């Protein structure tokens, strides 16, 4: 069961802060590139303000959202309109501001502005999937469509599906996160392999020191290169000129030729990311 929320922008912002919205889902799952779960915890408990700034894709998405919604409605004979929902108690903190909802058809749409490459793939980006799972849980809708829009390429839509285990996993994490917010007590995630974690932490400390030393090195070099070329004791300052890369796309003789078959063997490597 879900309840509709109505109000002005100020009350809507308060309403969002007092619960978990769909844009919070990838953060809670540790999948966000822009925010960590602890940062979200600090925001929800009033210890930090949301520093999210709009960007090109977000601004265009806001402006083009009505067009995308109208296109979807026209092509599918739906009547989706923006609406805000929250679940019944005890899950009333689970909330969603929907880009479109058609009650008779029990259909939800989520609209996102996409770059050219992602748009051409027609895939739903991984970091958006838990937003959609969140909306499925809040609305318990029969159908949910992801609507992608690009100013130059147009609009596409595809139905989103998730498994019961995916929804259960997310809901459990959302419950634990909100319990921490309610108690105003942050609990670090359990570390299963503490030996590996200690090694990763040691590497992170070393990496920090290397970057610090590299910054100091660059600062010293910038001062050194203010001097003219020449010898100084055991050292010598020289100017090295390197030819630029050849832009093969600009070579007319290569137009229409598939260069991929001349590519060398692919290399595979592993990297460590800090979330």
DSSP 31: -
Cα–Cα distance between 147 and 112 in angstroms, integer?
Answer: 6
69's tokens: 């919604």
Whole-model pTM: value is 0.70
Q: How high does pLDDT run on average in the chain?
A: 88
Is the domain covering 2-183 a CATH 3.90.320.10 domain? yes
235 neighbors 220 (Cβ within 8 angstroms): no
Nearest-10 crossing angle of helices 164-183, 37-44: 50
Comparing 23-37, 197-211, 225-239, 261-275, which segment has the lowest mean pLDDT? 261-275
Distances (CA, A) of 85 to 36, 78, 113: 25, 19, 23
Give the max Cα distance, the chain.
Answer: 84
pLDDT band at 11 (very low <50, low <70, confident <90, very high): confident
Residue found by looking up tokens 């010898």 in the block? 231
What per-residue confidence (pLDDT) applies to 135? 97
For residue 113, list its beta bridge partners: 149
Q: Average pLDDT of 152-164?
A: 95
User: Is 6 a residue whose pLDDT tops 90?
Assistant: no
Q: Is the peptide bond before 64 cis (omega within 30 degrees of 0)?
A: no
pLDDT band at 34 (very low <50, low <70, confident <90, very high): confident
Q: Residue 146: left (phi > 0), alpha (psi -120 to 50), or beta?
A: beta
230 neighbors 236 (Cβ within 8 angstroms): yes
SS3 42: helix
User: What ranges do the domains of the chain cover?
Assistant: 2-183, 194-262
């Amino acid at each position: 069961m879900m309840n509709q929320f109505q109000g002005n922008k100020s009350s809507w912002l308060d309403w969002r802060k007092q619960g978990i919205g769909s844009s919070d889902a990838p953060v809670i799952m540790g999948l966000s590139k822009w925010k960590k779960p602890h940062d979200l915890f600090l925001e929800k408990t009033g210890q930090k303000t949301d520093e999210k700034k709009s960007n090109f894709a977000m601004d265009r998405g806001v402006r083009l959202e009505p067009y995308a919604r109208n296109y979807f409605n026209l092509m599918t004979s739906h009547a989706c309109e923006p609406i805000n929902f929250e679940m019944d108690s005890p899950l009333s903190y689970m909330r969603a501001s929907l880009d479109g909802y058609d009650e008779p058809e029990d259909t939800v749409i989520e609209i996102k502005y996409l770059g050219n490459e992602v748009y051409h793939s027609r895939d739903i980006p991984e970091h958006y999937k838990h937003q959609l799972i969140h909306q499925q849980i809040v609305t318990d809708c029969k159908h949910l469509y992801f609507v992608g829009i690009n100013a130059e390429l147009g609009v596409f839509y595809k139905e989103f599906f998730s498994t019961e285990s995916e929804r259960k996993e997310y809901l459990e994490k959302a419950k634990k996160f909100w319990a921490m917010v309610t108690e105003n007590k942050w609990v670090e995630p359990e570390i299963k392999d503490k030996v590996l974690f200690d090694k990763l932490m040691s590497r992170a400390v070393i990496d920090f020191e290397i970057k610090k030393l590299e910054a100091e090195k660059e600062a010293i070099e910038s001062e050194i290169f203010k001097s003219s070329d020449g010898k100084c004791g055991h050292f010598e300052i020289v100017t090295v000129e390197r030819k630029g890369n050849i832009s093969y796309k600009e070579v007319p003789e290569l137009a229409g030729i598939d260069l991929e078959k001349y590519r060398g063997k692919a290399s595979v490597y592993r990297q460590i990311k800090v979330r």
